Amino acid sequence: MIKQKHSASMLVHYFKKFLLVIILTFNFNIFNSALANEDKKNDKIDNINFPAAVIDMKAVLAKSSAFSTLQKEIQKVEKNYKEEIKKEEDILKKEQESLVSQKSVLSNEEFKQKEDAFKQKVNKVQAKVEKIRRELESTMAKGMQIIQQEAVKHMKEIAAKKGYLLVFDANTTVISADRINISNIVVDKLNKSLPKISVEKKKEKKVD
């Protein structure tokens, strides 16, 4: 009898251990809080003879409407996934409770078979959570890449039009005049050519 109680206790412990893993923890704080406090630069750049400009790509991304919609879409998909996982977690919890209650009426062999089957289901949900996390991270990375490529395209067009031979990163430039900072001009063009990015949620198979 003591051995049976110990086995049932171990099963509960095993399930609780894996439930700790079945938590979606996505953190897509790509930029630090300083981006939110980025001061608006002068939108107009005079035609000057100095053949160089600067751009703050972090600020461009932070002010991008496409990046804003990308974040919201990711959060929406993440929320849906969390709800989906929660349902599967609840099903597993009920199954675990049922299995523990059957311990006293099942033979050791029968209980072991049911226990192993239950553990496999828990492992499947755990693997699913990890897969979802990787997919969301990949989606965010691809979305940011699209935005950056579009921003670079506009940056090159501006440089060609203004005759800039060099465009420096504002974050690594010690001193630069606002009038050669093309960040806001790039943002304006970027928001017109790429106002938003859509994120599609892939359908996941239910846990058996």
- pLDDT tens profile 195-206: 998 776 555 544
| CA angle (178, 183, 187) in 5-degree steps | 140
Q: How confident is the model at residue 43 (pLDDT cuts 50, 70, 90)?
A: very low
pLDDT of residue 32: 39
Q: Residue 31: is its pLDDT beyond 70?
A: no
Nearest to 152 by CA among 114, 109, 102, 186: 186
The pLDDT assigned to 175 comes to: 65
* pLDDT of res. 104: 84
Beta strands in 114-195 (DSSP E): 166-169
Is residue 149 one of the residues assigned to a domain? yes
Fill in the amino acid letter for 20.
L
Instruction: Write phi, then psi, for 169 (nearest 5 degrees).
Output: -80, 120
Q: Looking at the domain assignment, is residue 127 inside a domain?
A: yes
Residue 30 lies in a domain: no
Model pTM score: 0.64
Residue closest to 91 by CA, chosen among 23, 8, 25, 19 = 19
At residue 106, the pLDDT reads: 84
Average pLDDT of the residues in 3-29: 44
Q: Is 165 a domain residue?
A: yes
User: Domain residues for 110?
Assistant: 2-23+42-193
**Residue 159 in domain:** yes
How many other β-carbons are positioned within 10 Å of the β-carbon of residue 181? 22
Cα separation, 159 vs 63, in Å, equals: 20
Residue 176 forms part of a structural domain:
yes
At 50, the pLDDT band (50, 70, 90 cuts) reads low
Q: What's the structural domain count of the chain?
A: 1
Q: Is residue 15 part of a domain?
A: yes
Mean pLDDT confidence for 111-116: 89
